[in-house]
Structure 1
Amino acid sequence: MNIHNWKAIIEGLLFAAGDEGLTSKQFCSVLELHAQTVDDIINEMKLDYESESRGIRIIEIAGVYQLATKKEHAPYFKKIMETPMNNTLSQAALETLAIVAYKQPITRAEIEDIRGVKTERPIQTLVTKTIIKEVGRVEGTGRAILYGTTKEFLDYFGLKSIEELPKLPENTSEESVQEEADLFFEKFVEAFEDLP
């Protein structure tokens, strides 16, 4: 395999890893390459990304490589982050929001146990849009963040309080729970489409 293929694979791995990033050791394990080869490829990629035509770069923090945006573009990122909610949420974000709404306060690990997949990005999206927020920390080792809904959540869905959420069915089959969840997510989508 040539260097361009390795660069493409590393770029894809970094993108998939998101904020968690990857260590040189993880790259070596996945790519079955020596550490020096991985370091050489990443260093060459860093130089490639320094071009003015590129909007991202590779950073290394505490031995972990991540994709990051360029600092000189920060004013544009700030504008997009400050823009009020103007689009619908992804299915993953809606599922995460429904779990938080019904199970709050809840940790990311608990959400992931329910969804069966990672939820870092959906949580980040919901926090950025001020629909959920940190409401505390779990006592004990690690002190995981607890998430809950915000006043904005209630405003968006026209609720006076969290108690106005539709009641979940009790003692139902897995199939009917899935149907209820699908219906609930459809209502979420419709509510967000009606927002200005």
Structure 2
Amino acid sequence: MMTEPETTTPTSEEGSDRAELRRAVECVLLVAGAPVTPEQLTETLAVPLEAVLDVLRDLGQDYAGRGLQIQVVAGGYQLCTRPEFAEVVQRFLRLDHREPLSQAALETLAIVAYRQPVTRAEIETVRGVRSEHVLERLLDRHLIREVGRKHALGRPILYGTTEGFLRHFGLQDLHALPPLRGDDPRAAFIGTAPTGSPNGEDLSL
């Protein structure tokens, strides 16, 4: 007499773990900015490859009929907009909807403007907190640029302002910067103390 094959029903705990894995994979794909391979997801999330592939298939179905899609590109998976909405996305990106510069960004920008060319270490000495993140964001917004390297140990990068900086503040040239009152260049833009994260790195812009 033949017996029916046993079937297993996922427990509530397994279902919860799978849902959490789906959310984690979705987050990684969102911030990656480039195709992510299943192997990278496996290593990052510390789960079996088969579980990652199952979740990617599920997410692909979930995004069907929506403005976003999970696309297989160059052996990896990427969360991207659908081609039919390309014109809408391009129209939006031509507009400047960026947030105003934060206190941390203004502090860093003031130091670069008045002391350029200046290194990251010199900026951090004035601010008292790590400034890697803020510098990266200011570079992304084309308000500062790399102008060379200092002739010192390690050849650190030197930063200076851009034409975009002048346009942003309505300045004809750097000679039009407000005169400094005291030794701290931050006082020319704002007069408050720097803010930082608990681990000493400034994360705001």
Bucket of the pairwise TM-score, normalised by the shorter protein:
0.5 to 0.7
SS of corresponding position for 1:88: coil
Residue 174 of structure 2 is aligned to residue 162 of structure 1: yes
- Contact 1:27-1:38 at 8 Å conserved across structures: yes
Which of 175, 183, 191 is 1:183 aligned to?
A: 191
- Contact 2:35-2:75 at 8 Å conserved across structures: no
Residue 60 of structure 2 is aligned to residue 46 of structure 1: yes
Unaligned stretches of 5+ residues in structure 1: 139-144, 187-196
Seen in structure 2, the aligned counterparts of structure 1 residues 92 and 73 have a Cα distance that, compared at 3 Å, is farther
Aligned-partner Cα distance in 1 for 2:104–2:68: 25
Name the residue aligned to 1:192. none
Aligned-partner Cα distance in 2 for 1:10–1:183: 43
Instruction: Identify the structure with the greater helix proportion.
Output: 1
Aligned-partner Cα distance in 2 for 1:111–1:58: 41
Question: Who wins on radius of gyration, i.e. which is larger?
Answer: 2
- Contact 1:93-1:123 at 8 Å conserved across structures: no
- Contact 1:22-1:66 at 8 Å conserved across structures: yes
Name the residue aligned to 1:10. 25
Post-superposition shift, 1:32?
2.2
Post-superposition shift, 1:167?
4.8
- Provide the TM-score with structure 2 as the length reference: 0.53
Seen in structure 2, the aligned counterparts of structure 1 residues 25 and 84 have a Cα distance that, compared at 3 Å, is closer
Describe the superposition over 1:57-115 as per-residue Cα deviations: whole angstroms up to 9, x where unpaired: 2345555544322222111121122125675245676566556646767899x999941
Seen in structure 2, the aligned counterparts of structure 1 residues 77 and 89 have a Cα distance that, compared at 3 Å, is farther
- Provide the TM-score with structure 1 as the length reference: 0.55
- Contact 2:106-2:190 at 8 Å conserved across structures: no
Name the residue aligned to 2:68. 56
Seen in structure 2, the aligned counterparts of structure 1 residues 46 and 86 have a Cα distance that, compared at 3 Å, is closer
Aligned-partner Cα distance in 1 for 2:76–2:118: 28
SS of corresponding position for 1:36: helix
Describe the superposition over 1:14-58 as per-residue Cα deviations: whole angstroms up to 9, x where unpaired: 33x342665433422342211222122113212322x223x2223
Which of 80, 95, 118 is 1:68 aligned to?
A: 80
- Contact 1:159-1:165 at 8 Å conserved across structures: no
Aligned-partner Cα distance in 2 for 1:52–1:10: 20
1:72-151 paired onto structure 2 within 5 Å: 72-84=84-96, 88-89=100-101, 94=106, 97-98=109-110, 101=113, 114-117=130-133, 123-124=139-140, 126-127=141-142, 131=143, 149-151=161-163
SS of corresponding position for 1:83: coil
Larger RCO (CA under 8 A, 6+ residues apart): 2
What is the RMSD computed on CA atoms of the aligned residues? 4.7
- Contact 1:137-1:146 at 8 Å conserved across structures: yes
Name the residue aligned to 2:153. none
Aligned-partner Cα distance in 1 for 2:117–2:73: 31
SS of corresponding position for 1:57: strand
Post-superposition shift, 1:8?
1.2
Alignment size in residue pairs? 166
